[in-house]
Structure 1
Amino acid sequence: MQPGDLGQVVRETVQLFKAQMRDTDGEVRLFVVPGLPQNAEFDKDAVREVVLNLLSNAIKYSGDDKFVTVRVGQDREEMFIEVADRGIGIDPADQQRIFEKFYRVDEALTRKVDGTGLGLTISREIAKAHGGEITVESARGKGSRFTVWIPIRISKPMPRSASARSDRTPTREALRPPEPAETAPGVKP
Protein backbone atom coordinates (compact mmCIF):
# COMPACT_ATOMS: atom_id res chain seq x y z
CA MET A 1 0.00 0.00 0.00
CA GLN A 2 1.23 3.44 -0.83
CA PRO A 3 -0.25 6.93 -0.48
CA GLY A 4 -2.13 8.22 -3.47
CA ASP A 5 -5.13 9.95 -4.97
CA LEU A 6 -7.90 7.40 -5.62
CA GLY A 7 -9.69 9.75 -8.01
CA GLN A 8 -6.57 10.14 -10.14
CA VAL A 9 -5.89 6.38 -10.23
CA VAL A 10 -9.48 5.66 -11.33
CA ARG A 11 -9.35 8.51 -13.88
CA GLU A 12 -6.19 7.05 -15.46
CA THR A 13 -7.72 3.55 -15.47
CA VAL A 14 -10.92 4.74 -17.15
CA GLN A 15 -8.85 6.53 -19.82
CA LEU A 16 -6.88 3.33 -20.43
CA PHE A 17 -10.11 1.32 -20.70
CA LYS A 18 -11.63 3.84 -23.13
CA ALA A 19 -8.55 3.60 -25.33
CA GLN A 20 -8.90 -0.20 -25.39
CA MET A 21 -12.58 -0.07 -26.35
CA ARG A 22 -12.17 2.53 -29.09
CA ASP A 23 -13.61 0.19 -31.75
CA THR A 24 -16.53 -0.84 -29.53
CA ASP A 25 -19.87 0.87 -29.26
CA GLY A 26 -20.22 2.18 -25.77
CA GLU A 27 -19.68 5.10 -23.49
CA VAL A 28 -18.06 5.41 -20.08
CA ARG A 29 -18.61 8.54 -18.01
CA LEU A 30 -16.56 9.33 -14.93
CA PHE A 31 -17.55 11.51 -11.98
CA VAL A 32 -15.03 12.18 -9.23
CA VAL A 33 -16.60 13.81 -6.18
CA PRO A 34 -14.37 16.64 -4.88
CA GLY A 35 -12.77 16.34 -1.47
CA LEU A 36 -11.14 12.92 -1.68
CA PRO A 37 -7.99 12.61 0.42
CA GLN A 38 -4.86 13.05 -1.69
CA ASN A 39 -2.72 10.77 0.47
CA ALA A 40 -4.95 7.80 1.28
CA GLU A 41 -3.16 4.47 1.45
CA PHE A 42 -4.18 1.79 -1.05
CA ASP A 43 -2.64 -0.57 -3.57
CA LYS A 44 -2.82 1.36 -6.84
CA ASP A 45 -2.23 -1.65 -9.10
CA ALA A 46 -4.85 -3.72 -7.29
CA VAL A 47 -7.42 -0.90 -7.50
CA ARG A 48 -6.70 -0.56 -11.23
CA GLU A 49 -7.39 -4.28 -11.63
CA VAL A 50 -10.73 -3.98 -9.81
CA VAL A 51 -11.82 -1.02 -11.93
CA LEU A 52 -10.83 -2.79 -15.16
CA ASN A 53 -12.72 -5.95 -14.09
CA LEU A 54 -15.87 -3.99 -13.27
CA LEU A 55 -15.72 -1.89 -16.45
CA SER A 56 -15.13 -4.97 -18.59
CA ASN A 57 -18.13 -6.75 -17.05
CA ALA A 58 -20.32 -3.66 -17.36
CA ILE A 59 -19.64 -3.40 -21.09
CA LYS A 60 -19.83 -7.17 -21.73
CA TYR A 61 -23.19 -7.57 -19.99
CA SER A 62 -24.81 -4.36 -21.19
CA GLY A 63 -26.53 -5.77 -24.23
CA ASP A 64 -27.26 -3.00 -26.73
CA ASP A 65 -27.15 -0.09 -24.26
CA LYS A 66 -23.45 0.08 -23.45
CA PHE A 67 -23.56 3.16 -21.22
CA VAL A 68 -21.52 2.92 -18.02
CA THR A 69 -21.03 5.44 -15.25
CA VAL A 70 -18.17 5.42 -12.78
CA ARG A 71 -18.32 7.48 -9.60
CA VAL A 72 -15.52 7.94 -7.10
CA GLY A 73 -16.16 9.59 -3.77
CA GLN A 74 -16.14 9.47 0.00
CA ASP A 75 -18.85 8.52 2.48
CA ARG A 76 -17.83 9.13 6.08
CA GLU A 77 -14.68 7.09 6.72
CA GLU A 78 -14.71 5.17 3.43
CA MET A 79 -13.85 5.93 -0.16
CA PHE A 80 -15.93 4.28 -2.85
CA ILE A 81 -15.72 3.37 -6.51
CA GLU A 82 -19.09 2.74 -8.12
CA VAL A 83 -19.53 1.21 -11.58
CA ALA A 84 -23.10 1.16 -12.92
CA ASP A 85 -24.55 -0.06 -16.20
CA ARG A 86 -27.94 -0.32 -17.89
CA GLY A 87 -27.40 -3.93 -18.85
CA ILE A 88 -29.22 -7.20 -18.41
CA GLY A 89 -29.06 -7.18 -14.61
CA ILE A 90 -28.60 -10.09 -12.23
CA ASP A 91 -31.29 -12.19 -10.58
CA PRO A 92 -31.39 -11.87 -6.78
CA ALA A 93 -30.64 -15.61 -6.47
CA ASP A 94 -27.37 -15.13 -8.37
CA GLN A 95 -26.21 -11.91 -6.70
CA GLN A 96 -24.34 -13.59 -3.82
CA ARG A 97 -22.94 -16.38 -5.98
CA ILE A 98 -21.37 -14.11 -8.60
CA PHE A 99 -18.45 -13.55 -6.23
CA GLU A 100 -17.71 -17.29 -6.05
CA LYS A 101 -14.71 -18.59 -7.94
CA PHE A 102 -15.62 -19.73 -11.51
CA TYR A 103 -19.34 -18.96 -11.03
CA ARG A 104 -21.12 -17.70 -14.12
CA VAL A 105 -24.80 -16.95 -14.48
CA ASP A 106 -26.25 -19.59 -16.79
CA GLU A 107 -28.27 -17.72 -19.37
CA ALA A 108 -28.29 -17.49 -23.13
CA LEU A 109 -26.71 -14.02 -23.21
CA THR A 110 -24.03 -14.70 -20.61
CA ARG A 111 -22.95 -17.93 -22.31
CA LYS A 112 -22.03 -15.89 -25.39
CA VAL A 113 -19.70 -13.68 -23.33
CA ASP A 114 -16.08 -14.71 -22.81
CA GLY A 115 -14.87 -14.95 -19.25
CA THR A 116 -13.47 -17.24 -16.58
CA GLY A 117 -15.70 -16.38 -13.65
CA LEU A 118 -12.73 -15.01 -11.70
CA GLY A 119 -12.95 -11.23 -12.14
CA LEU A 120 -15.48 -10.58 -9.37
CA THR A 121 -13.79 -13.09 -7.06
CA ILE A 122 -10.47 -11.31 -7.50
CA SER A 123 -12.14 -7.92 -7.07
CA ARG A 124 -13.77 -9.03 -3.82
CA GLU A 125 -10.46 -10.35 -2.47
CA ILE A 126 -8.74 -7.06 -3.33
CA ALA A 127 -11.46 -5.10 -1.53
CA LYS A 128 -11.08 -7.39 1.52
CA ALA A 129 -7.29 -6.96 1.46
CA HIS A 130 -7.92 -3.22 1.85
CA GLY A 131 -10.26 -3.87 4.79
CA GLY A 132 -13.25 -3.09 2.60
CA GLU A 133 -15.93 -4.86 0.61
CA ILE A 134 -17.70 -4.91 -2.73
CA THR A 135 -21.48 -4.72 -2.96
CA VAL A 136 -23.95 -5.20 -5.80
CA GLU A 137 -27.39 -3.79 -6.50
CA SER A 138 -29.13 -5.14 -9.57
CA ALA A 139 -32.52 -5.61 -11.19
CA ARG A 140 -33.30 -7.80 -14.19
CA GLY A 141 -33.45 -5.71 -17.35
CA LYS A 142 -32.40 -2.52 -15.54
CA GLY A 143 -28.69 -3.01 -14.98
CA SER A 144 -26.25 -3.42 -12.12
CA ARG A 145 -24.31 -1.21 -9.76
CA PHE A 146 -21.14 -2.53 -8.14
CA THR A 147 -19.59 -0.47 -5.35
CA VAL A 148 -16.14 -1.04 -3.91
CA TRP A 149 -15.74 0.35 -0.38
CA ILE A 150 -12.23 1.09 0.94
CA PRO A 151 -11.66 2.44 4.47
CA ILE A 152 -9.71 5.68 4.48
CA ARG A 153 -6.23 5.30 5.91
CA ILE A 154 -4.21 8.49 5.67
CA SER A 155 -0.49 8.24 5.15
CA LYS A 156 1.39 10.32 7.70
CA PRO A 157 4.86 11.61 6.88
CA MET A 158 7.63 10.23 9.05
CA PRO A 159 9.14 12.86 11.38
CA ARG A 160 12.75 13.60 10.65
CA SER A 161 15.11 14.10 13.55
CA ALA A 162 18.70 15.30 13.43
CA SER A 163 19.90 11.87 14.53
CA ALA A 164 17.95 10.07 11.80
CA ARG A 165 18.95 12.14 8.80
CA SER A 166 18.99 10.04 5.68
CA ASP A 167 20.89 12.41 3.44
CA ARG A 168 24.14 12.23 5.47
CA THR A 169 24.54 16.02 5.21
CA PRO A 170 26.33 17.24 8.32
CA THR A 171 24.27 19.39 10.66
CA ARG A 172 25.28 22.95 11.52
CA GLU A 173 26.43 21.73 14.92
CA ALA A 174 28.81 19.27 13.30
CA LEU A 175 30.34 22.02 11.15
CA ARG A 176 31.12 24.38 14.06
CA PRO A 177 34.70 24.47 15.25
CA PRO A 178 35.19 22.86 18.63
CA GLU A 179 35.16 25.12 21.68
CA PRO A 180 38.57 25.64 23.26
CA ALA A 181 39.19 23.33 26.17
CA GLU A 182 39.13 24.86 29.62
CA THR A 183 42.49 25.18 31.25
CA ALA A 184 43.44 25.56 34.86
CA PRO A 185 44.32 29.11 35.98
CA GLY A 186 47.85 30.03 35.17
CA VAL A 187 48.31 27.17 32.68
CA LYS A 188 48.80 28.14 29.09
CA PRO A 189 46.95 26.10 26.51
Structure 2
Amino acid sequence: MSLRVAVRRSLLILPVLASATTLAFAGSTPAWAQAAKPAAPTAGSAPIMPSAAKPTAPAAAAPAAGAKADDDDGWTCPFPKKVPTIPDGKTAPEADMRKAHEEMQSYVNSGQGFISCVDQLVAQHPDKVTVAKFLQLTSVQDAVVSNMQILAARFNEQLHVYKARTGGAPAPAAPTPAAKPAGK
Protein backbone atom coordinates (compact mmCIF):
# COMPACT_ATOMS: atom_id res chain seq x y z
CA MET A 1 0.00 0.00 0.00
CA SER A 2 1.42 3.39 -0.91
CA LEU A 3 1.85 6.30 1.42
CA ARG A 4 -1.00 8.27 -0.14
CA VAL A 5 -3.49 5.40 0.00
CA ALA A 6 -2.67 4.73 3.63
CA VAL A 7 -2.98 8.42 4.50
CA ARG A 8 -6.35 8.65 2.83
CA ARG A 9 -7.53 5.64 4.80
CA SER A 10 -6.11 7.13 7.99
CA LEU A 11 -7.86 10.43 7.36
CA LEU A 12 -11.17 8.65 7.02
CA ILE A 13 -10.90 7.02 10.44
CA LEU A 14 -9.19 9.82 12.39
CA PRO A 15 -12.37 11.82 13.11
CA VAL A 16 -14.06 8.64 14.31
CA LEU A 17 -11.14 7.82 16.59
CA ALA A 18 -10.92 11.36 17.92
CA SER A 19 -14.61 11.57 18.76
CA ALA A 20 -14.92 8.04 20.15
CA THR A 21 -11.93 8.07 22.48
CA THR A 22 -10.08 10.50 24.68
CA LEU A 23 -6.58 10.93 23.36
CA ALA A 24 -3.78 12.71 25.16
CA PHE A 25 -1.81 14.88 22.78
CA ALA A 26 1.47 16.60 23.49
CA GLY A 27 0.78 20.24 22.68
CA SER A 28 -2.35 22.25 22.14
CA THR A 29 -3.21 20.93 18.68
CA PRO A 30 -3.08 17.28 17.63
CA ALA A 31 -0.24 16.52 15.22
CA TRP A 32 -2.63 15.06 12.66
CA ALA A 33 -4.56 18.33 12.59
CA GLN A 34 -1.50 20.36 11.68
CA ALA A 35 -1.30 19.78 7.93
CA ALA A 36 1.28 21.86 6.07
CA LYS A 37 0.05 23.50 2.89
CA PRO A 38 2.23 24.14 -0.15
CA ALA A 39 3.26 27.74 -0.60
CA ALA A 40 1.16 29.78 -2.99
CA PRO A 41 2.91 31.10 -6.09
CA THR A 42 4.12 34.67 -5.86
CA ALA A 43 4.77 37.24 -8.52
CA GLY A 44 8.09 37.19 -10.29
CA SER A 45 10.32 34.26 -11.05
CA ALA A 46 11.61 33.64 -7.52
CA PRO A 47 11.56 29.95 -6.67
CA ILE A 48 8.64 28.62 -4.65
CA MET A 49 9.68 26.56 -1.68
CA PRO A 50 7.14 24.33 0.01
CA SER A 51 6.04 25.44 3.44
CA ALA A 52 7.41 22.16 4.77
CA ALA A 53 10.83 22.58 3.19
CA LYS A 54 12.58 21.92 6.49
CA PRO A 55 10.75 18.79 7.62
CA THR A 56 11.42 17.15 10.94
CA ALA A 57 10.11 13.74 9.98
CA PRO A 58 12.76 11.01 10.01
CA ALA A 59 12.76 10.19 6.31
CA ALA A 60 13.16 13.83 5.38
CA ALA A 61 15.14 14.97 8.39
CA ALA A 62 18.46 15.17 6.61
CA PRO A 63 18.33 17.19 3.43
CA ALA A 64 22.12 17.35 3.54
CA ALA A 65 23.87 14.47 1.81
CA GLY A 66 23.70 11.44 4.05
CA ALA A 67 23.45 13.29 7.36
CA LYS A 68 21.64 11.37 10.09
CA ALA A 69 20.06 12.48 13.32
CA ASP A 70 20.61 10.41 16.48
CA ASP A 71 16.98 9.29 16.65
CA ASP A 72 16.61 8.56 12.92
CA ASP A 73 17.20 4.79 13.08
CA GLY A 74 18.79 5.10 9.63
CA TRP A 75 15.88 6.96 8.05
CA THR A 76 17.34 9.33 5.52
CA CYS A 77 16.17 10.43 2.12
CA PRO A 78 17.96 12.96 -0.08
CA PHE A 79 15.81 16.09 -0.20
CA PRO A 80 15.43 17.57 -3.71
CA LYS A 81 18.44 19.42 -5.01
CA LYS A 82 18.78 23.17 -5.28
CA VAL A 83 15.75 24.88 -6.79
CA PRO A 84 16.65 26.04 -10.30
CA THR A 85 16.53 29.69 -11.25
CA ILE A 86 14.25 30.38 -14.18
CA PRO A 87 15.59 32.96 -16.63
CA ASP A 88 13.40 35.67 -18.10
CA GLY A 89 12.35 34.56 -21.57
CA LYS A 90 12.28 38.17 -22.80
CA THR A 91 16.01 38.69 -22.32
CA ALA A 92 17.69 35.31 -21.74
CA PRO A 93 20.08 33.89 -24.33
CA GLU A 94 19.71 30.34 -25.60
CA ALA A 95 22.52 29.06 -23.35
CA ASP A 96 20.67 30.24 -20.23
CA MET A 97 17.45 28.58 -21.38
CA ARG A 98 19.24 25.29 -22.03
CA LYS A 99 21.00 25.46 -18.67
CA ALA A 100 17.68 26.14 -16.93
CA HIS A 101 16.16 23.15 -18.73
CA GLU A 102 18.92 20.86 -17.48
CA GLU A 103 18.54 22.22 -13.94
CA MET A 104 14.78 21.65 -14.11
CA GLN A 105 15.27 18.05 -15.22
CA SER A 106 17.73 17.46 -12.40
CA TYR A 107 15.38 19.05 -9.85
CA VAL A 108 12.36 17.03 -11.00
CA ASN A 109 14.38 13.80 -10.96
CA SER A 110 15.68 14.47 -7.44
CA GLY A 111 12.15 15.33 -6.27
CA GLN A 112 10.76 12.11 -7.69
CA GLY A 113 13.66 10.22 -6.08
CA PHE A 114 12.81 11.77 -2.71
CA ILE A 115 9.17 10.77 -3.02
CA SER A 116 9.98 7.17 -3.96
CA CYS A 117 12.57 6.95 -1.15
CA VAL A 118 10.02 8.04 1.46
CA ASP A 119 7.47 5.58 0.08
CA GLN A 120 10.03 2.79 0.20
CA LEU A 121 11.05 3.56 3.79
CA VAL A 122 7.44 3.66 4.95
CA ALA A 123 6.72 0.37 3.20
CA GLN A 124 9.79 -1.26 4.79
CA HIS A 125 9.11 0.03 8.31
CA PRO A 126 5.34 0.39 8.79
CA ASP A 127 5.68 -0.28 12.52
CA LYS A 128 7.83 2.84 13.00
CA VAL A 129 5.41 5.22 11.29
CA THR A 130 2.92 6.95 13.55
CA VAL A 131 -0.11 8.71 12.14
CA ALA A 132 1.53 12.08 12.84
CA LYS A 133 4.72 11.07 10.98
CA PHE A 134 2.65 9.65 8.17
CA LEU A 135 0.68 12.85 7.71
CA GLN A 136 3.81 14.95 7.93
CA LEU A 137 5.60 12.84 5.32
CA THR A 138 2.60 13.04 3.02
CA SER A 139 2.45 16.79 3.49
CA VAL A 140 6.13 17.12 2.58
CA GLN A 141 5.65 14.87 -0.45
CA ASP A 142 2.66 16.91 -1.60
CA ALA A 143 4.62 20.13 -1.17
CA VAL A 144 7.53 18.74 -3.21
CA VAL A 145 5.16 17.66 -6.01
CA SER A 146 3.40 21.05 -5.96
CA ASN A 147 6.72 22.86 -6.06
CA MET A 148 7.91 20.77 -9.02
CA GLN A 149 4.68 21.44 -10.92
CA ILE A 150 4.78 25.18 -10.23
CA LEU A 151 8.41 25.48 -11.29
CA ALA A 152 7.83 23.41 -14.45
CA ALA A 153 4.86 25.62 -15.36
CA ARG A 154 6.92 28.78 -14.81
CA PHE A 155 9.79 27.43 -16.90
CA ASN A 156 7.43 26.45 -19.71
CA GLU A 157 5.83 29.90 -19.60
CA GLN A 158 9.23 31.57 -19.93
CA LEU A 159 10.17 29.10 -22.66
CA HIS A 160 7.09 30.13 -24.66
CA VAL A 161 8.08 33.79 -24.21
CA TYR A 162 11.60 32.94 -25.38
CA LYS A 163 10.32 31.03 -28.42
CA ALA A 164 7.97 33.87 -29.34
CA ARG A 165 10.88 36.32 -29.11
CA THR A 166 13.34 34.24 -31.13
CA GLY A 167 10.89 32.60 -33.51
CA GLY A 168 12.37 29.15 -33.00
CA ALA A 169 12.20 26.12 -30.79
CA PRO A 170 15.80 25.50 -29.71
CA ALA A 171 15.24 24.71 -26.03
CA PRO A 172 13.03 21.78 -25.04
CA ALA A 173 10.22 22.13 -22.52
CA ALA A 174 10.73 21.15 -18.90
CA PRO A 175 9.50 17.72 -17.90
CA THR A 176 6.09 17.88 -16.30
CA PRO A 177 6.19 15.92 -13.06
CA ALA A 178 3.40 13.41 -12.96
CA ALA A 179 1.28 13.21 -9.85
CA LYS A 180 1.65 9.93 -8.01
CA PRO A 181 -0.94 7.37 -9.01
CA ALA A 182 -3.53 6.91 -6.28
CA GLY A 183 -3.51 3.13 -6.59
CA LYS A 184 0.18 2.63 -5.79
Larger Rg: 1
- The structure that is helix-richer by fraction is 2
Q: Which structure is richer in relative contact order (CA contacts within 8 A, separation 6 or more)?
A: 2
The reply to whether TM is greater than 0.5 is: no
TM, length-normalised to structure 2: 0.22
